[in-house]
């Protein structure tokens, strides 16, 4: 959604590619402000400027955070256990509630369960439908838990570590929501490996597995918005590719 211009040690400038991203940038900047004020034990990019608009584009400078992301399949269970715990323990303030959406399973046809059941599964190839519906039913049967701060795209290049192996910061909060913290656990596991969840409890592991098991946890942000999917066919193709790769 953005071009990013890097000024190492100083700032990163996000520049929207499309009008839709430009329109969303002020809200995303406000998410950064609120999350940065939540007292997390690692750095969060903070806006250094107001959002500037030019034509159909918009841009903002955000603070620089050192470190690098980890390669796929690599991750220290202790470090990620502390990261997941820190997110889970953030107090849900009125400010967070004001800027973050809380996805609902059922919401007049626009809940994430409604969309997957009614819009996605019927479009899947026949051989996948029953299995996906069964795994989705397992996910929908999970007991509701109090909504916590969920990053929504945790892992990979969004989590930076320093040369000493310590967590330095977490980037890209655009997909943040208020929901089940096991979603972030599943996102960590799908990139860094399920063994990285050894530092979590069995219930978190079980819930994380269920969140990933139906259509792949990385797809869920698209159905969490409480809005109709804008590209249903593309979403279905992506889910089918995930199913085929999974085997």
pLDDT by 10s per residue, the chain, length 247: 899 999 999 999 999 999 999 999 999 999 999 999 999 999 999 999 999 999 999 999 999 999 999 999 999 999 999 999 999 999 999 999 999 999 999 999 999 999 999 999 999 999 999 999 999 999 999 999 999 999 999 989 999 999 998 999 999 999 999 999 999 999 999 999 999 998 889 999 999 999 999 999 999 999 999 999 989 999 999 999 999 999 7
Which strands form 52-54's sheet, in the order they lie side by side? 2-7, 11-16, 57-63, 52-54
Q: What are phi and psi of 161, to 5 degrees?
A: -120, 150
For residues 213 and 96, give the distance between their C-alpha atoms in angstroms, rounded to a whole number: 29
Q: What are phi and psi of 17, to 5 degrees?
A: -90, -30
Q: What is the pLDDT of residue 199?
A: 83
DSSP string, the chain: -EEEEEETTTEEEEEESSHHHHHHHHHHHHHHHHHHTT--SSB---B-SPPEEETTEEEEEEE----BPPPTT---HHHHHHHHHHHHT----HHHHHHS----S-STT-SHHHHIIIIIGGGS-HHHHHHHHHHHHHHHTSPP---EEE-SS-SGGGEEE-TTS-EEEE---TT-EEE-THHHHHHHHHHH-GGGGGGS-HHHHHHHHHHHHTT-GGGGGGGSSSS--S-HHHHHHHHHHHHHHH-
Task: Give the rounded distance of the alpha carbon of 150 from its chain centre.
Answer: 7
- The pTM for the full model equals 0.95
């Amino acid at each position: 959604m953005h071009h990013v211009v890097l000024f190492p040690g100083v700032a990163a400038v996000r520049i929207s590619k499309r009008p839709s991203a430009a329109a969303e940038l002020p809200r995303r900047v406000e998410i950064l402000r609120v999350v940065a004020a939540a007292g997390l034990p690692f750095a969060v990019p903070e806006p250094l400027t107001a959002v500037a608009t030019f034509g159909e584009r918009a841009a903002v400078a955000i603070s620089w955070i050192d470190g690098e992301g980890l390669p796929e399949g690599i991750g220290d269970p202790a470090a990620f256990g502390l990261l997941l715990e820190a997110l889970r323990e953030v107090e849900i303030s009125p400010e967070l509630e004001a800027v973050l959406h809380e996805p609902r399973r059922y919401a007049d046809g626009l809940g994430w369960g409604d969309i997957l059941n009614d819009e996605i599964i019927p479009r899947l190839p026949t051989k996948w439908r029953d299995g996906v519906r069964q795994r989705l039913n397992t996910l929908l049967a999970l007991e509701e838990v109090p909504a916590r701060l969920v990053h929504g795209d945790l892992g990979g290049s969004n989590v930076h570590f320093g040369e000493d192996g310590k967590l330095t910061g977490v980037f890209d909060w655009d997909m943040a929501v208020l929901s089940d913290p096991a979603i972030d656990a599943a996102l960590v596991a799908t990139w860094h490996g399920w063994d990285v969840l050894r530092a979590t409890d069995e219930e978190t592991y079980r819930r994380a597995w269920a969140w990933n098991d139906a259509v792949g946890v990385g797809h869920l942000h698209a159905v969490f918005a409480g809005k109709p999917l804008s590209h249903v066919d593309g979403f279905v193709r992506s889910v089918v590719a995930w199913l085929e790769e999974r085997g």
